[in-house]
């Protein structure tokens, strides 16, 4: 008996096999997409965290540098010197009570003491401000002693002062100091000459006290003649505060209180700084040790700025991008627990800064 063997030829896949393959392919594609989306979100979060930390570091570096130098006059502490201000407004007086001060936000619309008119209306409600006054060394020393109290000041050049007419400057010899506005600066070989004319100042003379400080002579006993051991410094009075930035979110700003009214222009420094709270370390016993940290309104009410030897700065910094968290973030800041209204990341950065010119 002969058996015939029939060979079956497959011409394609069945519908069931096709559907199974499609399902497997879709599952693989979904998995790959999920990995891609997850990796992209992780990258966004990592990048925003890095930027947040960088912004906080720069913000604290700016403030720390200036707080440390508060009260600098070239060598001695301001409390040990006789400082006279002859510059025209708005250059503020420079006293031991003014080298550091600030404004405490006692509510969303009120600050104590009251805000300076130059920044009033632009500070974000509920945030504090801090102001630092100091001289900044720029490598300019006198090369010709003054022979009369109205003599022009001749300093060494080159230097890093970048002097121009109207600049607020300080001349100091570690015993006395005068803050004045420069007239038109003339450059010579290895030197610069800076006048201090009546057009930029309350008078042309440097006097040891306010008597005779006008255009008349100080008198022999009251005249201050700075010698070749004197130094010329830039004088600054800087206010740090929180204001809405160019991107529409809060940012750290700085205002130079020494600029002429026509040139006053607050400058945005660091984006993403949502809030700033400041307290001041007060030494009430004269032993260079902080006895209490107080808000600006408390220090001001007791006229206690002269005893401030440090400042505690606390910044709340946020990411620029939203939708980085699945739930609204809860954090603790300034003694309160807060739940954010968006999905940005936020972190609190706090530092304590000593005023070097007050700590022995």
Q: Give the pLDDT confidence of 261-301 residue by residue, as tens digits.
A: 767 789 999 999 999 999 999 999 989 999 999 999 999 99
Q: Could you tell me if residue 42 is inside a domain?
A: no
Judged against a pLDDT cut of 90, whether residue 52 lies above it is answered with yes
* CB-count burial class (<10 Å; 0-12, 13-18, 19+) for 43: exposed
CA atoms of 134 and 271, how far apart (whole Å): 26
Buried-state track 284-306, b at ≥16 Cβ within 10 A, e below 16: eeeeeebeebbbbbbbbeeebbb
- pLDDT at position 150, please? 92
- pLDDT at position 6, please? 58
Q: Which band of pLDDT confidence, cut at 50, 70 and 90, is reported for residue 158?
A: confident
Q: Could you tell me if residue 38 is inside a domain?
A: no
- Phi-psi category of residue 3: left, alpha or beta, with phi > 0 → left and psi -120 to 50 → alpha: beta
Asked if omega into 90 is within 30° of 0 (cis), the reply is yes
Lowest mean per-residue pLDDT among 20-24, 104-108, 313-317, 330-334: 20-24
Q: Could you tell me if residue 216 is inside a domain?
A: yes
Q: Could you tell me if residue 45 is inside a domain?
A: no
Lowest mean per-residue pLDDT among 37-46, 207-216, 300-309: 207-216
Q: Quote the tokens at residue 128.
A: 């504090």
Q: Could you tell me if residue 37 is inside a domain?
A: no
Q: Could you tell me if residue 23 is inside a domain?
A: no
Judged against a pLDDT cut of 90, whether residue 21 lies above it is answered with no
Beta carbons within 10 angstroms of residue 65's beta carbon: 11
- pLDDT at position 260, please? 74
> Tens of pLDDT along 134-144?
999 998 999 99
Q: Are 193 and 143 in contact (CB under 8 A)?
A: no
- pLDDT at position 103, please? 98
Q: Could you tell me if residue 25 is inside a domain?
A: no
Q: Which band of pLDDT confidence, cut at 50, 70 and 90, is reported for residue 1?
A: low
Domain that holds residue 206: 50-354
Judged against a pLDDT cut of 80, whether residue 38 lies above it is answered with no
Q: Could you tell me if residue 63 is inside a domain?
A: yes
Q: Are 91 and 282 in contact (CB under 8 A)?
A: no
CA dihedral 147, 217, 185, 134 (to 10 degrees): 90
- pLDDT at position 155, please? 95
Q: Are 212 and 221 in contact (CB under 8 A)?
A: no
Specify the higher pLDDT residue, 356 or 28: 356
Place of tokens 């230097």: 159
* CB-count burial class (<10 Å; 0-12, 13-18, 19+) for 277: buried
- pLDDT at position 9, please? 60
Alpha helices (H) in the chain, listed in sequence order: 15-68, 296-301
Q: What pTM did the predictor assign? A: 0.86
Q: Which band of pLDDT confidence, cut at 50, 70 and 90, is reported for residue 216?
A: low
Question: What domain count does the chain have?
Answer: 1
């Amino acid at each position: 008996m002969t058996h015939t063997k029939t060979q079956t030829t497959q011409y394609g896949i069945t519908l069931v096999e096709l559907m199974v393959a499609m399902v497997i392919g879709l599952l693989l594609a979904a998995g790959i997409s999920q990995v891609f989306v997850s990796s992209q979100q992780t990258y966004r979060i990592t990048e925003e965290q890095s930027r947040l930390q960088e912004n906080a570091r720069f913000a604290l570096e700016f403030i720390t540098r200036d707080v440390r130098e508060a009260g600098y006059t070239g060598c001695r502490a301001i409390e040990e010197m006789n400082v006279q201000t002859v510059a025209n407004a708005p250059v503020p007086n420079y006293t031991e009570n003014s080298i550091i001060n600030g404004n405490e936000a006692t509510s969303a619309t009120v600050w104590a003491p009251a805000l300076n008119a130059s920044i009033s209306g632009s500070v974000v409600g509920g945030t504090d401000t801090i102001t630092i006054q100091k001289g900044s060394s720029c490598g300019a020393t006198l090369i010709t002693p003054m022979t009369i109290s109205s003599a022009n000041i001749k300093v060494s050049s080159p230097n890093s002062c970048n002097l121009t007419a109207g600049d607020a400057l300080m001349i100091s010899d570690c015993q006395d100091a005068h803050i004045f506005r420069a007239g038109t600066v003339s450059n010579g070989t290895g030197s610069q000459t800076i006048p201090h004319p009546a057009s930029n100042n309350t008078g042309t003379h440097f006097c040891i006290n306010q008597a005779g400080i006008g255009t008349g002579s100080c008198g022999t006993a009251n005249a201050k003649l700075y010698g070749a051991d004197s130094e010329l410094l830039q004088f600054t009075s800087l206010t740090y505060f929180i204001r809405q930035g160019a991107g529409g979110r809060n940012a750290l700003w700085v205002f130079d209180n020494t600029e002429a009214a026509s040139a006053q222009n607050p400058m945005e420094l660091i984006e993403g700084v949502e809030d700033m709270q400041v307290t001041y370390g007060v030494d009430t016993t004269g032993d260079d040790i902080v006895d209490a940290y107080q808000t600006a309104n408390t220090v001001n009410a007791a006229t206690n700025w002269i005893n401030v030897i440090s400042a505690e700065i606390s910044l709340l910094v946020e990411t620029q991008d939203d939708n980085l968290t699945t739930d609204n973030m809860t954090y603790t800041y300034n003694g309160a627990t807060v739940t954010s209204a968006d999905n940005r990341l936020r972190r609190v950065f706090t530092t304590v800064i000593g005023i070097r010119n007050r700590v022995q």
